[in-house]
Amino acid sequence: MLQSLTDSGRIVRAFSYSLKGLRAAYRKESAFRQELILAAILLPLAVWLGRTGVERALLIGSVLLVLIVELLNSAVEATRSEERRVGKECTHRCR
């Protein structure tokens, strides 16, 4: 267990997989691209408009939460479309 927590190769691989997923979302999901562009505008604005650290954290956190929810929504949509595709194949084979 301790070995797996300190395995730097595992951490690097996990990070590279995460970057590949973000790149794929950027390439394939137009809504994610739009929200990423808005985040690039809103994050500096949040730092500038927030008067205290708590306000800044809340503003930045809400922008990041929108991006996370969009990624989750994309994952659900992809899973659902794959489910439909597999279901149709199964239906055709069962007949």
Span 69-91, average pLDDT: 82
Residue 35 designated active-site: no
From the candidates 29, 55, 70, 83, give the one annotated as an active-site residue.
70
Q: Provide the pLDDT confidence category of residue 89 given band limits of 50, 70 and 90.
A: low
Say what the pTM is.
0.75
User: Which residues, in sequence order, are CB contacts of 66 under 8 Å at separation 6+?
Assistant: 35, 39
What is the per-residue pLDDT across 50-78, written as a single tens digit (0 to 9) for each?
999 999 999 999 999 999 999 999 999 98
Question: Is residue 63 a contact partner of residue 46, using CB atoms and an 8 Å limit?
Answer: yes
